[in-house]
Amino acid sequence: MSELVFGNGRIVTAGAVINGSVKVADGRIAAVDEGRAGASVDLGGDYLLPGLVELHTDNLENHVQPRPGVRWPMLSAVMDHDARIAGAGITTVLDAISIGSIRDTGIRVETMRDMIAGVAKANERGMMRAEHLLHLRCEVSTPDLVAQFDPFVDTPFLRLVSVMDHTPGQRQFVNLDKHHEYYKGKFGMSDAEIADFHVKKKEQQERWSAPNRARVVRMCQERSIPLASHDDATPAHVDEAIGDRMVIAEFPTTVEAAARSHAAGLRVLMGGPNVVRGFSHSGNVSALDLARRGHLDIVSSDYVPSSLLISIFSLTDSDCGIGLPAAVAMASKIPAEAVGLDDRGEIAPGRRADLIQVGVVENVPVVRAVWREGRRVA
Task: Give the phi and the psi of residue 134 in degrees, each rounded to 5.
Answer: -120, 135
Confidence of residue 60 (pLDDT cuts 50, 70, 90): very high
In the three-class reduction of DSSP (H, G, I as helix; E, B as strand; rest coil), residue 57 is classed as strand
Residues 100 and 36 in one domain: no
Contact 3, 21 (CB under 8 A): no
Task: Give the phi and the psi of residue 84 in degrees, each rounded to 5.
Answer: -70, -40
User: What was the pLDDT predicted at 182?
Assistant: 62
Residues 369 and 238 in one domain: no
List pLDDT tens digits, range 178-199: 655 666 556 666 777 776 776 6
**CATH number of the CATH domain containing 361:** 2.30.40.10
User: What was the pLDDT predicted at 1?
Assistant: 54
Contacts of 286 (CB under 8 A, 6+ apart): 274, 278, 279, 280
Residues 27 and 88 in one domain: no
Residues 180 and 200 in one domain: yes
pTM summary value: 0.91
Residues spanned by the domain of 99 = 52-343
User: What was the pLDDT predicted at 137?
Assistant: 96
Residues 12 and 138 in one domain: no
Residues 355 and 262 in one domain: no
User: What was the pLDDT predicted at 327?
Assistant: 98
List pLDDT tens digits, range 294-351: 999 999 999 999 999 999 999 998 899 999 999 999 999 999 999 999 999 999 999 9
Q: Which of 76-90, 91-105, 153-167, 281-295 has the lowest mean pLDDT?
A: 91-105
Confidence of residue 170 (pLDDT cuts 50, 70, 90): low
Q: Which of 140-154, 159-173, 216-230 has the lowest mean pLDDT?
A: 159-173
Residues 199 and 272 in one domain: yes
Q: Which of 136-140, 207-211, 311-315, 341-345 has the lowest mean pLDDT?
A: 207-211
Residues 118 and 223 in one domain: yes
User: What was the pLDDT predicted at 166?
Assistant: 75
The residue among 39 and 152 whose pLDDT is bigger is 152
**CATH number of the CATH domain containing 267:** 3.20.20.140
Residues 46 and 119 in one domain: no
Residues 144 and 10 in one domain: no
Average pLDDT, integer, range 26-46: 91
Residues 207 and 81 in one domain: yes
List pLDDT tens digits, range 273-293: 999 999 887 678 999 999 999
Total structural domains within the chain? 2
The residue among 168 and 143 whose pLDDT is bigger is 143
d(CA 369, CA 359): 10
Query: For residue 26, is it left (φ>0), alpha (ψ between -120 and 50) or beta?
Result: left
Residues 209 and 105 in one domain: yes
List pLDDT tens digits, range 214-271: 999 999 999 999 999 999 999 999 999 999 999 999 999 999 999 999 999 999 999 9
